[in-house]
Amino acid sequence: MKLKLTLAYDGTTYHGWQSQRSGLGVQDRLQAALAGLFPEEPQVTASSRTDAGVHALGLVVHFEVNELRMPVRHLALAINALLPEDIRVLKAVRAAEAFHARFDAKAKEYRYRIWNHAAMNPLLRAQAWHVPRALDLAAMRKAAAIFTGRHDFRAFTAKRPGVLGDSVRTLSRCEVRRRGAEITVVLEGPGFLYKMCRGIAGTLVQVGEGRFPPEAVAAMLDSRDRRKAGMNAPARGLVLSRVFYR
């Protein structure tokens, strides 16, 4: 039997999604909870990974068990009872036998939250990047439009060139939204490079601060050189918000 879970977690205290020798991966906590329910101690396969300090609201995983000795509608409650408070199963359903959380995903949506005010909102201190200086939203949106489409994003990944394979990715959406003091960068595409979202968000903020003109983004992409692009935004502002399936 194959089961599909949708997870949300606060990544502040974790070393990312993937299982770690330290046991501080979100995957470690989830698999420990599943081992308390299923004698086969199932291993989970995720739709994607998140880095240390990054959060999730819609990460999808699947796993297989020999049998389920409870109604599937009770499964999320049972798993949550064995998880720490900063990780929660939002939804649990039975999946088709052929379903694969990673390979069947057609797109992912990340959101990066920025608090653009002189004083930080203390309720968002672990969920948003505090940028106290005023930002030029029009310039940020102009730069965001350049990121949209199919490009070589080698200049926006922290992965070493020697171990980096194909660095061409497609962004179907790169939007900058504002509501009061809160700015959200919305990124959507079928796949992302290591720290790519944070590199884009950091660069957009630096464009908003006037450190780069919006047109500089095209030259950064063409350079394929990480040193020519902007900074990485802090991990705490990034959330994997949704995974889309066919």
The CATH number given to whatever domain includes residue 66 is 3.30.70.580
**pLDDT bracket for residue 246 (50, 70, 90):** confident
Residue 24 one-letter amino acid: L
Marked catalytic residue, from 51, 104, 222, 225: 51
Could you tell me the residue range of the domain that residue 170 belongs to?
106-245
Helix axes 216-223, 137-147, angle to 10 degrees: 30
> Is residue 51 annotated as a catalytic residue, yes or no?
yes
On whether residue 101 sits in a domain, the answer given is no
Residue 137's nearest CA partner among 180, 178, 173, 174 is: 178
Look at residues 72, 94, 116 and tell me which one is the last residue of a structural domain.
94
Residue 171 pairs in a beta bridge with 149
Claim to verify: residue 119 and residue 64 sit in the same structural domain? no
Residue 161 reports pLDDT greater than 80: no
Residues of the chain above pLDDT 90, percent:
93
Asked whether residue 61 falls in the same domain as residue 160, the answer is: no
200 in the same domain as 162: yes
The predicted pLDDT at position 163 comes to 61
Which one of 94, 126, 146 terminates a domain? 94
**pTM (predicted TM-score):** 0.93
Within this chain, do residues 112 and 15 fall inside the same structural domain, yes or no? no
CA distance to 8, 30, 36, 198, 212, per residue, from 33 (Å):
15, 5, 5, 31, 47
Three-state DSSP class for 42? Answer: coil
**Mean pLDDT for the chain overall:** 95
Section 29-40 average pLDDT:
96
Domains contained in the chain, number: 2
Which of 51, 72, 94 terminates a domain? The answer is 94
